[in-house]
Amino acid sequence: MLKKIFSCAFAALAIASAVSSQELAGRAADAEDVVLAIAKPSGHNIEAMFTFTRMADGVGLHLSINATGLDKGAEYPFHIHVDSVPSNGNCTATGGHLDPHGVKAAAGESYKCSKSDILKTCELGDLAGVFGNMVGDKEGNASGDFVATELAFGGDNTILDHSIVIHNSAGDRVACANIAAFVLGGDNNSDQLIDAAGSHESSDDSTSSDASSIAAKVSGLLASLVFAAMI
């Protein structure tokens, strides 16, 4: 019995050390490896940060938003758009709202996102429809924490490989950024997060350091992910 426990523990250790950061990055398409995702929309003096982490119960994602540079009292709708932001930063090139279940196509002109029936009435990417528009406070900031029960890292409802777009009240796309996924990695293979896209252009060093500091705050989550990577 004891022997069995020891050999199990040993095997688990061996597997854990065998999972290198390169392998984790290479497996980034496996949504279960993604620890968090960050988008930092900017444009028209706006600097915002959207951070998505898993809910502890495994259902949906927690979304934390902050923004500066907004007009005082002004409303800003925000969405997940289907396409990536090209390297020239053109927010208009991000296509329409993420809507994998065709809610908008079915509703047509009568589309109206209702919080009481999100799945049937809201495009998956219609975050403002579900949570309300961002509103600039007296210093031009906005922030919020939300539980997005329909969103996921992977599967039909994945937010990965899409973008965040912030509109002004006239509907113009004033700020945008790609959603960058982060997986466990680094030399210690436990307390660092690396851009799942590896060398891709999508995220910068400041996003990576944001990811690491957020990871430190959710270290319990990281511990459970290390365990998941071992089995």
Ligand X SMILES: *[C@@H]1O[C@H](CO)[C@@H](O)[C@H](O)[C@H]1NC(C)=O
**Residue 49 binds to ligand X (criterion: CB under 6 A):** yes
**Residue 201 to residue 108: CA distance in whole angstroms:** 36
Q: How far is the CB of 195 from ligand X (least distance, A)?
A: 15
Q: Which of 87, 110, 116, 188 binds ligand X (CB under 6 A)?
A: 188
Residue 139 in the binding site for ligand X (CB under 6 A): yes
| One character per residue 99-118, x = contact with ligand X (rule: CB under 6 A) | --------------------
187 binds ligand X (CB under 6 A): yes
Contact 174, 13 (CB under 8 A): no
For residues 75 and 191, which CB has a smaller minimum distance to ligand X in the complex?
Answer: 191
**How far, in Å, are 10, 26, 31, 148, 177 from residue 182 at the CA level?**
28, 12, 10, 19, 15
Residue 186, contacted partner among ligand X, Cu ion, none, CB below 5-8 A by kind: ligand X
206 CB neighbour count, 10 Å cutoff: 11
Rounded CA-CA distance 125/164 in Å is 9
Angle, CA 161 vertex, CA 32 and CA 45 arms, to 5°? 120
Using the minimum distance from each CB to ligand X, give the nearer residue, 68 or 149: 68
- Answer with the entry of Cu ion, ligand X, none that 165 interacts with (C-beta below 5 to 8 A by kind): Cu ion
